[in-house]
Amino acid sequence: MSVDLTGIPVSEMIDKAFKMLKLAYTPYSHWKVGAGLLDTDGKIWGGCNIENASYGVTNCAERTAFFKAVSEGVKSFKAIAIVGGREGKVEDFCAPCGVCRQAMMEFCDPESFIVIVAKNKTEYTAKTLKEILPDGFGPKSLAE
């Protein structure tokens, strides 16, 4: 499946993800992740991963970006860009974990929401949420 990136400011989203990567708090894993989340009004929300000594309380960059936006009243999104690597050195693609994919299902149309994983502004992949979470469980699953 080919993803249409028309109207998606990929470069700006990747820039935001790299800026957020520098803010990641990762004293345990040393694996830093940054995200740039595009809402339907064109604003790019940033998120970084924030670890905790108990690990279970750790929050991923993608969910941080979503939670920031939702806490400000935004609940409609187009795409997210994600970068990550050990000590913040991005050498490969960093895909979202399963928990983050599930969180995306809550607010995004899996058919049209785009997940971009990048090494830099020119090396990235783009897939729909449905491609990375086939048969996902979301609000429509509970509709009567």
Active site residues: 62
- Alpha-helical (H) ranges within 1-144 are 10-21, 61-71, 98-107, 129-132
8: nearest Cα among 81, 67, 73: 81
Burial class (CB in 10 A: 0-12, 13-18, 19+), 84: buried
Note whether 41 and 79 are within 8 A (CB).
Answer: no
